[in-house]
A and B are shown apart, each in its own frame.
Chain A
Amino acid sequence: MTSTENDRLLLNAYVDGELDPAHALEFEQRIAADPALAAEQARIEALRRVIAQRLPRETASPELRRRISAMVGQSAQPRAARWSAGWRADWGRMAASVAVAFVVGSAATYMAVGPRDQQPVVRDLIASHMRSLMASQPFDVASSDRHTVKPWFNGKLPQSPRVVDLTAQGFALAGGRIDVIGLTPAPTLVYRHRLHLISLTALPAAEAAATPRRAIDGYNVVEWTDGPLVYWAVSDLATPELDDFAKAFRNGEAEP
C-alpha cells in the first residue's frame, strides 16, 4: 500500500499536532488501519527525536551580542538583558520556546491593585516573564506533579496557589517560581505547551475593569477575574492558543 501525496502532508501535520481534533481522530484511525502510514509515522517521529536530542542548539556568540549592543547603544539595555550574558546557552533553548506565565495568589497575599496601577503591574509581569526566558531555567521548582509544586510554595508564601492539572488539554505543568510584582512576592506557575513553555499571573481583583487582551512588545497579555483573584496570562503564544489555555485553566479542577 502506498500513501498518497496528501496523506504525507496530513501525516506530518498530525505528528506536529497541527490537525484539529476531529481530523486528528480520523487520521489516527487511518494510521491504525494502515501499516504503511504507521511505519512512516515512526520514521518521522524518530527523525524529530534525533534532531531534538542530538543537533546542538545554535547560540549567538558573545562577540555578536557585543557588536549588536554597540550598534543599538548600550544605554538602552534593561537590567534583565544585562543579566543574560551568563545564561546564554540555556536562554537560547528557552527563547526557542513559547511561554505563558501565570502568577497565582490569594487576595490576602497581595497588595491591592487599582486601575491606575495596572500598567506597572503588566510591565512587572512581562519583565518577570522575559527574565524567566533568559534565566538558566524558567522556574525555581521543576516538577510536573502538582502535589510537588503546590507544597513548594507553602514554605515560602502565606498561601500557595491553585494548581490545575492540564496535561489532558496539552498544557503540562513544568514547575513554579516566585515573581515579585510591585514589591510583593507572587507565586508563578509555568506550563509547557508542546515544545514550548508557558507562564500565567493572578493578583487580588481590584474593582478594576478588566481590559481582556493586549499585546505589548510582542507579548500577549490575557486577564480574567475569578472570585477574589484576577489572573494574568503573559505569553508570546498566539492569542487563540492563549485563550484556550485560559479557558482550560478556568474550567480545570484544582487539587483537593
Chain B
Amino acid sequence: MDREDSKTRFTNVVTPHLDDAYGLARWVTGNRADAEDVVQEACLRALRGIAGFTGGNARAWVLTIVRNAAYDWMRKNRSRTVVHVDDLEAVERMQMPDDAATAGDNPETALIARADEAKLETAIADLPTVFRETLVLRDVQGLDYREIATITGVPIGTVMSRLARARGRLVATLGADT
C-alpha cells in the first residue's frame, strides 16, 4: 500500500471516528489537553498500521488503538496512578454493599435523575480507570459488550462485571443525599 492509499484509507476509516477517539481519550486520561496528545499519537499509529486493517468494525479498531495509546501515555506520564486491575476487582467485589439493591428506595432513583452535569462529570472522573472506560464505551459511546471486549482486550464476562461495578458506584454516589 503506497502513501496515497494509506492517506485515503486513513480518511475513510479513522476520520469518521475522531470524536469517539477524543471522547475515549478524554475520559481515560482525565483531561482534554492530554486527550489531544493521545489522539494525535493514536492517529500516527493508525496511519502506520492502516494496511493491517482488514475491514470489519472500523470504530472498534480505532478505539482499540486510542485506548492502547492512552494507557501507554499514562504509564509514561503517571505511572503511579495506574492501578492493577485484578486487585481492584477483587477489592471491589468485597466492598460492593449487598444493600445496594434494597427495595423501595425510590428517592435514590429520583436523586440520580436530578444529578447535574458537574456532579456527573465528577462522579465518572472518580471511577477507577478500567471501570470508567467500560462505562464510557457503553453508556456514552453506545458500543455493545462484544465491541467493548474487543477494545479493552478482556472477556465479555469481565466487561459485564466492570460495567456493573461502574454503575454500582455511580448509583451509590449520585443517589446519596448530599
Output the nearest chain B residue to A11 by Cβ-Cβ distance: B164
Whether A60 lies near B106 (C-beta < 8 A) is no
Report chain B residues within 8 Å CB of A44.
167, 171
Tell me how many residues of A have a C-beta within 8 Å of chain B. Answer: 71
In the complex, the answer to whether B58 meets A218 with C-beta atoms within 8 Å is: yes
Contact assessment for A76 and B116 in the assembled complex, using a CB-CB cutoff below 8 Å: no
A38–B104 Cα gap in the complex (Å)?
Answer: 9
Question: Closest CB of chain A to B29's CB: distance in Å?
Answer: 12
A9 close to chain B: CB less than 8 A: yes
Do B18 and A55 have beta carbons less than 8 Å apart? no
Task: List B residues 22-80 near A (Cβ within 8 Å).
Answer: 22-23, 26-27, 32, 35-36, 39-40, 43-44, 47, 53, 55-59, 61
Please tell me if the beta carbons of B59 and A76 are within 8 angstroms of each other in the complex: no
Least Cβ–Cβ distance between B36 and chain A, in angstroms: 5
CA distance A138 to B55 in the complex (A): 23
From 64 to 82 in chain A, residues with beta carbon under 8 angstroms from any chain B beta carbon are: 64-65, 67-68, 71-73, 75-78, 81
Interface centre among A16, A75, A217 (most CB of B within 10 A): A217
Q: Say whether B120 contacts A55, CB under 8 Å.
A: yes
On whether the beta carbons of B39 and A60 are closer than 8 Å, the reply is: yes
CA–CA, A11 to B160, complex, Å? 10
Please measure, in the bound complex, the distance between the C-alpha atom of A88 and the C-alpha atom of B22, giving whole angstroms: 13
- Assess whether A18 is interfacial by the CB under 8 Å rule: yes
Find B11's partner among A40, A56, A60, A81 (CB 8 Å cutoff).
Answer: A81
Asked whether B104 lies within 8 Å of A35 as measured between CB atoms, the reply is yes
Contacting B171 at CB < 8 Å: which of A43, A57, A92, A95? A43
Known contacts A5-B93, A43-B175; is-contact A58 B103 (Cβ 8 Å): no
Are A46 and B43 in contact, CB atoms less than 8 angstroms apart? no
Provide the residues of chain A in CB contact with B9, threshold 8 Å: 217
For A85-100 the 0/1 string (1 means CB < 8 A from B) is 0001001100111100
Partner of B112, one of A9, A50, A81: A50
Interface residues of B in 101-155 (CB under 8 A from A): 101-106, 108-110, 112-113, 115-117, 120-121, 124, 138-142, 144-147
Asked whether A95 lies within 8 Å of B20 as measured between CB atoms, the reply is yes
Q: A68-B18, A72-B7, A236-B57 are in contact. Are A40 and B142 (CB under 8 A)?
A: no
Enumerate chain A residues within 8 angstroms of B138, measured Cβ to Cβ.
16
Whether B87 is near chain A, meaning CB under 8 Å from some CB there, is no
User: Nearest chain-A residue to B17 (Cβ)?
Assistant: A95
Q: Could you write out 16 A-B pairs with CB less than 8 Å apart?
A: A2-B98, A12-B160, A18-B145, A38-B103, A47-B174, A51-B139, A55-B117, A55-B121, A68-B39, A71-B44, A77-B11, A96-B142, A196-B142, A215-B55, A218-B56, A218-B58
Closest A-B pairs by Cβ, 3 of them: A218-B58, A76-B7, A215-B55
A residues with a Cβ closer than 8 A to B are 1-3, 5, 8-9, 11-13, 16, 18, 35-40, 42-44, 46-52, 54-61, 63-65, 67-68, 71-73, 75-78, 81, 84, 88, 91-92, 95-98, 130, 133-134, 194-196, 214-220, 236, 238
Chain B contact residues, CB within 8 Å of chain A: 3-4, 7-13, 15-23, 26-27, 32, 35-36, 39-40, 43-44, 47, 53, 55-59, 61, 93, 96, 98-106, 108-110, 112-113, 115-117, 120-121, 124, 138-142, 144-147, 157, 160-161, 163-164, 167-168, 170-171, 174-175
